Amino acid sequence: MDRRTLVTTSLALSVSACVADPYRRQRDLQGAPPPPGQPDYAAAPPPGAEETQTYSSEEIVNSASDFFGVGAETVGAAVERVFQEQGRPTAYIAGEEGSGAIVVGRRYGRGLIYMKDKRPVEVFWQGPSVGWDWGGNASRVFTLCYNLHYPDAIFQRFPGVEGSAYLIGGLGVNYQRANDITLAPIRTGVGLRLGANVGYLAYTRQRNVVPF
């Protein structure tokens, strides 16, 4: 085979390879993107992706003030404190609950969990409490949820975080935590019932009479 034939054959093979896979050369380059239509699993999420899946403080304040039927200023102080300590929530629960206690108490609740780009899901909760606590009350509850990316992940027991209970502007706030998921219930009409936060709440798909 002479030199001219060899060069012609090599060029033909190179052209054929490029036609069969026009992105081969591009993929061989360090850091080059994949061909169109093929996902780039190693790429970082686009800027702003976190904001599209979480709630801003303004969104939470507006939703909570409408839910409680009070001014934004009343809710804003409590929400601001939670945001300073936990950041932007991935979901929230709006519901109502009743509780009663004479040292040992019970709490029952029902509400809807809201997440962006997902339909609301009904959730129930119940649990015991022990502490310097007596009396009974009914209240509305607006719970901020952190690291909760799927509604089904809420269905478990959440112990109260010791020392997390506090009152801001007539609203009671405490933290519950389980498996890297943190809940921050904001309650109205708590009064002395804030002591009921010492215990746990079990979140379930159906109402359970027995709180344990």
The 10s digit of each residue's pLDDT in 54-110 is 999 999 999 999 999 888 888 999 999 999 999 999 999 999 987 765 656 678 899
CA nearest neighbour of 183 among 198, 169, 203, 167: 203
Percentage of the chain with pLDDT > 90? 41
pLDDT, mean over the chain: 74
Please state, in angstroms and rounded to a whole number, the distance separating the CA atoms of residues 179 and 197. Answer: 19
Residues 48, 81, 200, 170, Cα dihedral to 10°: -130
* pLDDT on residue 35: 45
Q: Regarding predicted confidence, which is higher, 103 or 46?
A: 103
Q: Regarding predicted confidence, which is higher, 127 or 195?
A: 127
* pLDDT on residue 105: 66
Beta-carbon contacts of residue 179 (< 8 Å; ≥ 6 apart): 153, 156
The pLDDT of residue 24 is above 70: no
Confidence of residue 113 (pLDDT cuts 50, 70, 90): very high
pTM of the model: 0.70
**Cα–Cα distances in Å, from 179 out to 49, 115, 152?**
24, 19, 13
The pLDDT of residue 46 is above 90: no
127 phi and psi angles, rounded to 5 deg: 180, 160
Q: Regarding predicted confidence, which is higher, 31 or 162?
A: 162
DSSP secondary structure string, 65-80? HHHHTS-HHHHHHHHH
* pLDDT on residue 15: 39
